Amino acid sequence: MDWIGILTEASKQVKQTIMPLVGTALAQETYGRGAGGDPKKHIDLQAERALVKTLLNHEISFTLISEESGIKTYGEHPTCYVTTDPIDGTTNTLRGLPFACSSIAISKIPRLDAIEVAAVADIFHEVVYVAQKNLGTYRNQERVESTQITELANVVIGIDFNTWKVAELTKKLNRILLHTKHIRHLGANALELCYVADGTIDAFIDIRGKLRTTDIAAAALIIEEAGARISTLRNTPLTNILSPTETVAFIATGNPQLHQIMLKCLKQV
């Protein structure tokens, strides 16, 4: 099965469905809370529907693990898990702030370390990241590699500070904040992880413990296949189950040396 082709097509369908909705009142209409706990917006549901429709058109039977609809089976004999956050960065999308993506990950078992194929599509730009286990990461058909930078003073780091417990968080990140100048948070974690994969930024940290595995399923493989690293704060692999309610804290960096340096900073607090 040409999974890369199918996921690329699904990403395109999702984009075509949601772009006309950006900026409309309809996009914002809310129908209770999604499986991940966030308000379920019209635009999120339409994105998920476009993905499901594309997979069904290819006669794929699957179990969907979605931030919006939760866990649902399509077809008679599901052969794989399709883990998705149809729109990561809904707030950005609704405001027309051009940083958001759609994530799709395929696996035989519902675990973060079992992803075999992944796609993350930039919603506002003509950019799709795809990865296949042991076959590398590609950005619009071009192979990508992560950064080799290791000096903290020169790195650009994404950090998700989006929590009420921000004071607690900055204490833990103190050493990193002291030694770096360039901190960013762009508002769509899966896409920020793809930016680590292709060296646009050098690292991304989310130690809130709030991010769902559905958010990073695709990006985790994209990171690893680009030669970058992603791990728990104890430097162990991410092996969490894929579920809209399972959360994860992690650090992702462009190379093993930078990974060690940043983990050490986190430990020294």
The binding site for Mg ion (CB under 5 A) comprises 67, 85, 87
Least distance (Å) between residue 101 CB and Mg ion? 10
If the CB atoms of residues 85 and 225 are measured against Mg ion, the closer one turns out to be: 85
Q: Which of 224, 201, 199 is nearest to 144 (CA)?
A: 199
Q: Which long-range contacts (CB under 8 A, 24 or more apart) does 258-264 make?
A: 258/147, 258/149, 258/150, 258/155, 258/202, 258/203, 259/229, 259/231, 259/235, 261/150, 261/152, 262/152, 262/176, 262/203, 262/205, 263/231, 263/233, 263/235
Nearer to Mg ion, 131 or 211 (CB): 211
> Least distance from C-beta 232 to Mg ion, angstroms?
23
User: Is the Cβ–Cβ distance between 192 and 158 less than 8 Å?
Assistant: yes
Smallest separation (angstroms) from Mg ion to the CB of 124: 15
At its nearest, how many Å lie between Mg ion and the CB of residue 123? 11
Nearer to Mg ion, 45 or 176 (CB): 45
- Alpha carbon distance 93, 76 (integer Å): 35
Nearer to Mg ion by Cβ, of 23 and 39: the residue is 39
Task: Using the minimum distance from each CB to Mg ion, give the nearer residue, 67 or 122.
Answer: 67
Residue nearest to Mg ion (CB): 85
Give CA–CA dist 81/104, Å, rounded.
10
Cα–Cα dist 55/164, whole Å: 38
CA distance 132 to 110: 16
Extract the tokens encoding 53: 């429709």
Q: How far is the CB of 155 from Mg ion (least distance, A)?
A: 28
Place of tokens 């078992």: 109
H helix runs in 58-97, sequence order: 90-95
Q: How far is the CB of 216 from Mg ion (least distance, A)?
A: 12
Q: Which residues contact 72 (CB under 8 A, 6 or more apart)?
A: 63, 64, 66
How many angstroms from the chain centroid is the CA of residue 241? 15
* Minimum distance of Mg ion from residue 246's CB (angstroms): 15
